[in-house]
Amino acid sequence: MAEITTVPFGPQHPVLPEPIHLDLELKDEKVVRAVPSIGYVHRGLEKLVEKRDFKQFIYVAERVCGICSFGHGWGYAKAVEGLMNIEIPERASCLRTMWHELSRLHSHLLWFGLAADAMGFESLFMNAWRIREIVLDIFEETTGGRVIFSVCKIGGVRRDINDTQRKEILEKMKELRKEIQQMAMVFLYDNTIQSRLEGVGVLSMNDAMDMGCVGPMARASGLPVDYRMAEDEGFYKKLHFHPVTETAGDCLARVKVRLGELTQSIDLICGCLELLPEGAIEAPVRGLPPAGEYFTRVEQPRGEALYYVKGNGTKNLERFRLRTPTNVNLAALVKMLKGCELADVPNIILTIDPCISCCER
């Protein structure tokens, strides 16, 4: 009878863009149990809400994560706006939606590059990141930043786009669509990728539901959960779309969902630019956050993120709390790793697209 061997995986590993540590208990090459350990880069950002006033803290919130920074700034702003009963202008809502979908493109393209690199496709990795540069160029042109944008504020947005920029972004979206379609052919039809991902890391619909999975991880198991479909979710209610879903629940299904979301995000960005309303880009913010609490959600690239704020009538909030998608999906990761081959562990970890920076706030 084979003995159980404990093998440390991470926090430094070629496939991990961020530090996560797993203790893998193995019988020969089979994973019997995986025990995750996080906490290497804990920064105490939530505590800073007591030392920065409610307008300043948005700069801290968007630094929770560099990849989905706009979404974190938006989630915090939505929570404070709800607490203060501020209704933002329609144009600001449209611009926020556009930038958020650009962030989804940025995040998914970055992830595809890392996934390709993990499987030894160096040229595909470089091509995915080359395509991503188109998105970052749009960010730089419209916000002034490439990773941290600081364009979202309480009451609206700080920057507007003119008609010339609107037309240029629409043209770049056409270029981006062609590039993504070419890249997708490799991911969907290459024999090596198929053999490494198909039937690996399967998560059933029932398990995804029981564990409360969110984002592409849930949608790849057949759950059509997407907070963008909510009635109160800003400008999304004017953009008619349905969540991208797959039913296999394996690593390949999660790849297919993200590929589908890339083209879907392009459609949503084009929809925002075509329907861009006239008017102001910010609403006046008067007074201080009242005593009370407010809770809201944002569909981040990795899934639904929850934002909670508590005011006490002063300029500094009493509490800010954030639950990120990776916090939820780690439990499902542990379940998927049980019984898999040791060689499949890196790919299974990568296909949940973990963001440890978001977890360790």
DSSP string, 283-298: ----S-PPSEEEEEEE
Determine how β-strand 152-153 pairs with β-strand 4-9.
unpaired
Q: What's the mean pLDDT when you consider all of the chain?
A: 87
What is the C-alpha separation between 357 and 361, in angstroms, rounded?
7
pLDDT digits (tens, 9 = 90+) for 339-356: 888 888 888 888 888 877
- Summarize the annotated binding site for Mg(2+) as residue ranges: 46, 322
The residue ranges of every structural domain in the chain are 46-355
What is the C-alpha separation between 232 and 261, in angstroms, rounded?
21
pLDDT of residue 40: 67
What's the number of CA atoms in the CB half-sphere (13 Å) around residue 329? 28
Please report, in angstroms and rounded to a whole number, the separation of the first and last CA atoms in the chain. 43
What is the C-alpha separation between 14 and 198, in angstroms, rounded?
22
Cβ 305 vs Cβ 297: under 8 Å: yes
pLDDT of residue 122: 85
- Summarize the annotated binding site as residue ranges: 46, 65, 68, 322, 355, 358
pLDDT digits (tens, 9 = 90+) for 12-57: 666 666 777 888 888 888 888 888 877 667 778 888 888 888 899 9
| pLDDT above 60 (res 1) | no
Percent of residues, the chain, with pLDDT higher than 90:
41
Residue 231 pLDDT class (50, 70, 90 cuts):
low
Residue with structure tokens 């984002």?
215
pLDDT of residue 176: 92
* Choice among 66-75, 122-131, 163-172, 225-234 with the minimum mean pLDDT: 225-234
Cβ 214 vs Cβ 303: under 8 Å: yes
pLDDT of residue 2: 62
User: Backbone phi, then psi, for 270, in 5-degree steps?
Assistant: -65, -40
| pLDDT above 90 (res 83) | yes
Residue 189 pLDDT class (50, 70, 90 cuts):
confident
3-state SS, 5-71, equals EEEEECCCCCCCCCCCEEEEEEECCEEEEEEEECCCCCCCCHHHHHCCCCCCHHHHHCCCCCCCHHH
Q: Give the contacts of 50 (CB within 8 A, at least 6 positions apart).
A: 316, 317, 318
Cβ 99 vs Cβ 150: under 8 Å: no
pLDDT of residue 249: 86
| pLDDT above 60 (res 178) | yes
| Topology classification of domain 46-355 | Cytochrome-c3 Hydrogenase; chain B (1.10.645)
What is the C-alpha separation between 215 and 8, in angstroms, rounded?
28
DSSP string, 303-314: EEEEEEEEE-SS
Q: Could you give the 3-state DSSP secondary structure of residue 341?
A: strand
pTM of the model: 0.92
Sign of the four-CA dihedral 28, 190, 129, 167? negative
- Summarize the annotated binding site for Ni(2+) as residue ranges: 65, 68, 355
* Choice among 6-10, 311-315, 316-320, 328-332 with the minimum mean pLDDT: 6-10
- Summarize the annotated binding site for Fe cation as residue ranges: 68, 358
pLDDT digits (tens, 9 = 90+) for 163-177: 999 999 999 999 999
